[in-house]
A and B are shown apart, each in its own frame.
Chain A
Amino acid sequence: MASDEAGIILLSLKVATASVVFSVPAAIFFAYALARWNFPGKTLLDALLHLPLVLPPVVVGFSLLLLFGKQGFLGRWLDDWFGIVFAFRWTGAALASAIMGFPLMVRAIRLSITAIDRRLETVARTLGGSRLWVFTSVTLPLALPGVVTGVLLSFARSLGEFGATITFVSNIPGETETLPLAIYSLIQTPGGDAQALRLSGIAIVLSIVALAVSEWLTRRSQKFVARP
């Protein structure tokens, strides 16, 4: 079963990485919008983004199934036009993880953007920087600690994602069976306890490594940002 375990871990990492990579740009956009802009419906958007944090994961998974399933409104449209299929694929698991981790990521990034002295952006404008350039050269680098924190929080959340994933893409070995799903089915299987224990140990190690990396990266990026 060793190769199988490796496959499960690799799949979990693949799902988590994809979910984080694709949600970072959107998270930065929404975090910036919520931190810096005033627009009608801001409170509603804020609530909507936070929804996955408070909803039962099963409900999120079920909504995804309705929207992105084979017969779902968005699912069919994406399949017809781009050939992108989420239902019962590992990409679906990544989507579910991304949605579940999104509020954590947006929160962390938003906090770090709010903490930036807006006058730094003003100075950059008066020095000839366009809005976009000021964002990439000043705002984003200064928000980096928050981005790093957000990415790792969401990555860890992805590794642990269970409810939304199993509801949306089911538990298909080799395709959607990530670490938590595998542990769950092993516990359900007679004689699977030993392997479940081993996989749980791996999950714990992965989480600790993610936290350590996050800590290290945050400290590194803060070296430049912090002032006495």
Chain B
Amino acid sequence: MIDVDIEQRLGSFELSVSFRAEAPILGLFGRSGSGKTSLVNAFAGVSRPQRGHIVVNGEALFDSDGGVDLPPERRRLGYVFQDDLLFPHLSVEANILYGFHRAPQAARAIEPGHIVELLGLERLLRRFPAALSGGERQRVAIGRALLAQPRLLLMDEPLASLDVLRQNEVLRYIEQLRDDLHIPIVYVSHSVGEITRLADIVVLLADGKSLAVGDVDDVMGRLELRPHTGRYEAGAVIEATVASHDLTDGLATLKFQGGELVVPSVEALIGERVRVRIRARDVALATEPPRRVSVLNILKGSVAASLPNQGCCSWTSRSRRSTYCDRTRYCAISSSFAMTFTFRSST
């Protein structure tokens, strides 16, 4: 459980954030300048809020009323920065053991051997950071943070300086350690893709304030938050399971509460849970079943709400509520018969 309620003035910028959440991965989402990094710095003890408290799993790291302000080295938070910030003068092995040697003997639950295996670092141990690729460096940085035996892993845009291939590589490792180590992660990002893929609960930050806290599919789909989640990034997040693979066409079928989706093949086994994000701009509405189109996903539903000024509709399908935008006609339709999807998936 993470309980945060802080106020901090940083020059002309005012950070005023308050939320309580418990999740395997808590997403902190916001555009650049929204206060994400300031918040993470307050977490790590690098900067000091004027007022409030930061409590992780019942222990206060900072509490202005109680006079608590633990120094960074006693907060036991693993901090993974945007740049890997490996110690350039130490080998990979010495890097990952830096925090391990500082952790109290009794707290050493995460073993170096396990982390090396989990993050695939065997072949890198003797090398120096300068000789590693971006993805490898970030994996070493994650391993180093984990071996310090943190009670919480803070990841501040850990993929921002990597190319797409490396991003995927690191993302897979993050998912693996989430499933394997059970250390709660606070994942900071301005990327809707990363947040929807990883986070369970998301805190939406804008102008130094926490605007919304909730399930990722709920927050990312809410219409009134769209200015902050991004005009072209607006969309719905759907939890689905892989139903089948079609290897000849390179497609996969996903089952979700509202029906089935056909997507380009995903790297997941049948029955595995995946998240699909459907961007509003990839959705079109039709008032009758469309025919003679190449679109694979056509779903039936009805328009539940519309915000004319935003060009958005909220759509209900059985028990779920999701938000889409009409690409062409800005939701002049009051009640639709069918929806067509053309979309790219993110799993």
Contacts and interface: CB of A to CB of B under 8 A. Distances in A.
Interface of A: 117, 119-120, 122-130, 133, 137-138, 141-142, 144, 224-228
A133 B88 CA distance: 17
Contacts of A144: 89
A124 B71 contact: no
Given A120-B87, A138-B87, A126 B148 contact: yes
A125 B102 contact: no
Interface of B: 44-46, 71-79, 81, 83, 85, 87-89, 98-99, 102-103, 128-130, 144-145, 148
A226 B128 CA distance: 11
B83 to A, nearest CB: 8
Contacts of B129: 227
A123 B85 contact: yes
A38 B102 CA distance: 29
A124 B98 contact: yes
B130 A226 contact: yes
B79 A128 contact: no
23 contacts: A117-B85, A119-B81, A120-B85, A122-B46, A122-B72, A123-B87, A124-B87, A125-B45, A125-B72, A126-B75, A126-B77, A126-B79, A127-B144, A127-B148, A128-B74, A128-B102, A128-B148, A129-B98, A133-B102, A137-B98, A142-B89, A224-B88, A226-B88
Contacts of A128: 73-74, 76, 99, 102-103, 148
B272 to A, nearest CB: 34
Most chain-B CB neighbours within 10 Å: which of A117, A123, A125, A226? A123
Contacts of B83: 119
B240 to A, nearest CB: 37
Contacts of B44: 122, 126
B99 A127 contact: yes
B71 A125 contact: yes
A124 to B, nearest CB: 7
Nearest to A119: B85
Nearest to A141: B89
B103 A224 contact: no
A226 B88 CA distance: 7
A130 B73 CA distance: 6
A120 B74 CA distance: 17
Contact of A126 (B72, B89, B128, B130): B72
B37 to A, nearest CB: 11
A129 B79 CA distance: 13
B87 A228 contact: no
Contact of B88 (A124, A130, A227): A227
Contacts of B89: 141-142, 144, 224-225
A174 to B, nearest CB: 44
